[in-house]
Amino acid sequence: MKRKSERRPNWAAAPPCSRRCSSSSPGVKKSRSSTSQELHHLDRQDDLYLDITDRLCFAILYSRPKSSSNVHYFSIDNELEYENFYADFGPLNLAMVYRYCCKINKKLKSITMMRKKIIHFTGPDQRKQANAAFLVGCYMVIYLGKTPEEAYRILMFGDTSYIPFRDAAYGSCNFYITLLDCFYAVKKAMQYGFLNFNSFNLDEYEYYEKAENGDLNWIIPDRFLAFCGPHSRTRLESGYHQHSPEAYIPYFKNHNVTTIIRLNKRMYDAKRFTNAGFDHYDLFFADGSTPTDAIVKEFLDVCENAEGAIAVHCKAGLGRTGTLIACYIMKHYRMTATEAIAWVRICRPGSVIGPQQQFLMMKQASLWLEGDYFRQKLKGQENGRHRAAVSKLLLAVDDISINGVENEDKQEHELYSDDDEINAVTQGDRLRALKSRRQSKTNAIPLTVILQSSVQSCKTSEPNISGSAGITKRTTRSASRKSSFKSLIPQRERRKRNALQQMPFMALWYSHCSAAFALPSFFIVFLLFFNFLQN
């Protein structure tokens, strides 16, 4: 009877083209004379091994394996975890995708693991299986050049299945997004320039997504910023952090935000933004509900005419905010509704909730047609004409008035009074409180001070990830780090400056030492010359 650790199938026994390692074959004892064939542990017939590359493998195991001289096992189930609101469990956010890609590339390029098979394994928890498969699939799409279908086919080999992702609403769910939706979202984000890990700032993403530090995320870099709704003043109330408009102004100006769109009740005076030079628009609709066609149209018109980036918020910056930004993505980048939802959630988990998902599905066809018409009009314009001028021409044709001028049909989209939210706890309040409570581990520095101090550090770019095939060096911030966000480059520059300041002293010390050693020989020569003169 062989021991448990000896019941291992041979890696070489699987066909070269197979992506699934056999789990039904009997155990084979490892040969001491051969190191080219690696044997790994299988305890159950349900264990699954999927070959991603010749060295990288993804596995679903029901017992924890042990690494050996030829196989390296690792898991991220307890390292990269989704922070849920209610019953939602994924997909993992953009920072976790970045960290995972860094980890894989580091292991593949490690000299000590050059001859090892690297196996990313996950356990029996179906939610963690889905998130692990999501990370593996994203790596295949981003770094291995796989199409979404190819990545999905590899992960779904045989009878493998993964549970789909749901929204962050409380209660039951009747709408889901799949791994394939997520892979398509990532692929199209790369295609349109939304996603570029060579310029991705991990520290900034992880810092500003926290409720105490502003609770903001870029959905489309340099174009759309989703953030939590500001309040009249900065304070901590009812378990979550509230920040005044002035707290965001330095960050907005430093990142070329020119337009703010408010979708919830009036909790601050818009003049606090407009007096600072921003354009401000109010497009109210009820928390947890869907916008009217008039609101969608005006939102798109405002965004198409904005000169810089647009910052959008509701109460929590999740449901209403994510829905309208998804409408823009569907119109101008022809993403499907599920792809747009997937991308918004990867950037800002918890976005698009409840009936807003079905609303986007219903709007998909019409938004695609509007986008085709918009692009056709742009192509027909003279070369070099400014984008805003083209948009204004289209608006003139459609007889729509914007630019801060109130429409005569304003009552068409103001279907409710924002007073309805003032004295009631809504879905946005609950989601914001949940996010703030789970993230608040230390006393936060006031956002105004943090944002103002980070303006200069944001100007310095983070170290890029060189190489088209992978990441050569990871620059990350520890999850337990309690200090304020600072760029890593200035720290290196300070060390270099200190080293440069020490160099003159070292050179001076060396010159004195050399002179000291030279004195005895000089003194001997002097005595010999003096005796010669006396003789």
Residues taking part in catalysis = 314
Q: Locate all alpha helices (DSSP H) within 116-265, ordered by sequence.
A: 126-143, 148-155, 179-191, 202-208, 245-254
Q: Give me the residue label for tokens 């190489």.
A: 467
**In the numeric block, which tokens belong to residue 52?**
């991603």
Q: In angstroms, rounded to a whole number, what is the distance separating the alpha carbons of residues 239 and 52? A: 44
HEC per residue, 67-112 = CCCCEEEECCCCCCCCCCCCCCCCCCCHHHHHHHHHHHHHHHHCHH
Say which residues have a Cβ less than 8 Å from residue 442's Cβ, sequence separation at least 6.
482
- Is residue 118 helix, strand or coil? strand
User: Distances in Å between the alpha carbon of 226 and those of 221, 312, 323?
Assistant: 11, 5, 11
Q: Which of 63, 42, 61, 58 is nearest to 117 (CA)?
A: 58
**In the numeric block, which tokens belong to residue 517?**
């050693």
Q: In angstroms, rounded to a whole number, what is the distance separating the alpha carbons of residues 289 and 297? A: 17
- Is residue 2 helix, strand or coil? coil
Q: φ and ψ at 258, to 5 degrees? A: -115, -15
